Amino acid sequence: MADSWSSSVDAHLDWTPGSGRNGLAKAVRAAIRDGRWRPGSVVPSTRALAHDLGLARGTVTRVYSDLVAEGYLLTSQGAPTRVATAGVEPLSMPRTVSAEEPRPRWTFMPGRPDPSLFPRDAWVAATRRVLQHTPNETFDYGEPRGSSVLRATLAAYLGRGRGVLADPARIVICAGYSHALSVLGRALRELGITETAFEDPSVRAFRDLAEASGQRVVGVPVDGGGLRVDQLSSPAVVVTAAHQAPLGVTMAPARRTALARTGAVIVEDDYDGEFRYDRHQVGAVQALAPERVVYAGSVSKTLSPSLRLGWLVLPRFLVDPVVAALTTSGAQPPALAQLTLAHLISSGGYDRHVRRCRIEYRSRRDALVAALPRHLNPQGISAGLHLVLPLDTAAESRVPATARRHALAVATVGAQRMRPSEGAGGLIVGYGAPAKHAFAGALDALLGMLREL
């Protein structure tokens, strides 16, 4: 019995005080049979359990010995005592997540950066620095609109890097763009705006979020110059002007100007604006009409979507309604992560990381374009983490089954259209998604799939 082991896991037991050794053994058996103490899990040390239950340690040790003999518990030299993994059939197991389909081996899913590029060392160093210097108030409830340090840092960064006219008082920090969009949908609804136009095609999940926040969603077509502004009649519109998601086109200058003049509330989703390869940076539409445009960004492409950190730069009239909707949304990214990001940006570490990623993604884009058969004519290659291969709708419809045969995760344009039967098809290749070491394998799988299509 490894009762010298100082494991102090907490464990709930239905145990009746005064029921002695037999009562304790019965309670542990019941916990194992019910599946509350799960097969393989560490049980409390004899010392901890005796202390918690007010029993002599020897009593607990004898009960554990009996249960080892009965096959309920397992011990081995120098290791904590565990619940046996075989032999005891639990009466019922707590509900577990239902079995999911196995993940394909390779991925070119759009909307994901390479998780292996996350700057672990820089993030640890920035976190340590923040922990050493931040005042105790950081560990209280945070400001509803987000850390004032991060908002001031972002105002400077977005002005310098993306040409955004940003005042820290007009910035709110959200749990990623998804959270920002649903907060915004509710704030617009409070102001009487209940219809939001989206580009067609656009990311379906975001249209669903807008709908769930009380907006009626309508589609506006996209052509080679971006959103067909002449067909826009809604009081609010969401655009991906720098690199249309998913088609990859950049909004033409005349369209940008026309859009800024429409009078609609424009939500500019600048989701991959940091990644531009061939042309000059395309500045934010926000600078053309800061009192009509909501500029939205996040670290989901530059660092990791797991951080759930994003921001909105708001027109003055939307600040109070958005802060109210944000407060009642009940969600906020952790203050420590906000301060760590602020430190990473102000110390220059964020820019260095984005530059490194840009080089990596550009070389992937080049390798991908060079490997593709010429006639496939890739689109949207000058920016972002994905490109599009135009396909006729018959070929597009064969993509899911063919991709499965090649163990590849990819997406199609049709799946993001509001009216899938209308408009050209295409394959969206998210070349940012594979980890660096898996890129060559994913590319082989893609080429194999394309040959079969």
Q: Which of 35, 161, 163, 176 binds ligand PLP (CB under 6 A)?
A: 176
- Give the CA-trace dihedral at 356, 362, 365, 369, to 10 degrees: -150
Half-sphere exposure of 112 (CA within 13 A, CB side): 18
* Residue in the shown chain whose Cβ atom is closest to ligand PLP: 111
Q: How far is the CB of 175 from ligand PLP (least distance, A)?
A: 8
Residue 185 vs 310, nearer CB to ligand PLP: 310
Residue 232 vs 428, nearer CB to ligand PLP: 428
Amino acid present at 229: V
Across 224-288, the runs of DSSP E, i.e. the strands, are 226-227, 236-239, 265-269
The C-alpha atoms of residue 287 and residue 292 are separated, in whole angstroms, by 10
Q: Which residue reads 């086109």 in tokens?
A: 249
Q: Which of 197, 237, 245, 427 binds ligand PLP (CB under 6 A)?
A: 245
The C-alpha atoms of residue 430 and residue 389 are separated, in whole angstroms, by 11
Residues 107-126 that bind ligand PLP (CB under 6 A): 111
Half-sphere exposure of 86 (CA within 13 A, CB side): 0
Q: Which of 67, 126, 203, 325 binds ligand PLP (CB under 6 A)?
A: 203
Q: How far is the CB of 279 from ligand PLP (least distance, A)?
A: 20
Contact between 240 and ligand PLP per CB under 6 A = yes
Residue 103: closest CA among 440, 444, 442, 450: 442
Residue 82 vs 207, nearer CB to ligand PLP: 207
Residue 267: closest CA among 333, 354, 178: 178
What strands lie across the sheet with 411-412, from one edge to the other?
387-391, 425-429, 411-412
Contact between 300 and ligand PLP per CB under 6 A = yes
Contact between 426 and ligand PLP per CB under 6 A = no
Q: How far is the CB of 348 from ligand PLP (least distance, A)?
A: 23
Q: How far is the CB of 178 from ligand PLP (least distance, A)?
A: 3
Q: Which residue reads 């509803």 in tokens?
A: 144
Contact between 196 and ligand PLP per CB under 6 A = no
Q: How far is the CB of 313 from ligand PLP (least distance, A)?
A: 15
Contact between 450 and ligand PLP per CB under 6 A = no
Q: Which residue reads 């409830």 in tokens?
A: 141
Residue 46 vs 178, nearer CB to ligand PLP: 178
Residue 292 vs 308, nearer CB to ligand PLP: 308
The C-alpha atoms of residue 39 and residue 433 are separated, in whole angstroms, by 36
Alpha carbon 346 to its chain centroid, in Å, reads: 23
Contact between 177 and ligand PLP per CB under 6 A = yes
Q: Which stretch binds ligand PLP (CB under 6 A): 14-22, 69-77, 173-181, 187-195?
A: 173-181
Count the Cβ atoms, other than its own, within 10 Å of residue 44.
24
Contact at 8 Å (CB) between 247 and 378? no
| Token duo for residue 37 | 């103490």
Q: Which of 200, 268, 269, 274 binds ligand PLP (CB under 6 A)?
A: 269
Within 372-438, where are the H helices? 393-405
Q: How far is the CB of 267 from ligand PLP (least distance, A)?
A: 10
Q: Which of 298, 340, 379, 412 binds ligand PLP (CB under 6 A)?
A: 298
Q: How far is the CB of 248 from ligand PLP (least distance, A)?
A: 11
Residue 46 vs 182, nearer CB to ligand PLP: 182
Residue 47 vs 204, nearer CB to ligand PLP: 204
Contact at 8 Å (CB) between 44 and 9? yes
Count the Cβ atoms, other than its own, within 10 Å of residue 219.
17
Contact between 305 and ligand PLP per CB under 6 A = yes
Q: Which residues would be at the binding site for ligand PLP (CB under 6 A)? A: 111, 176-178, 203, 240, 245, 269, 271, 298, 300, 305, 310
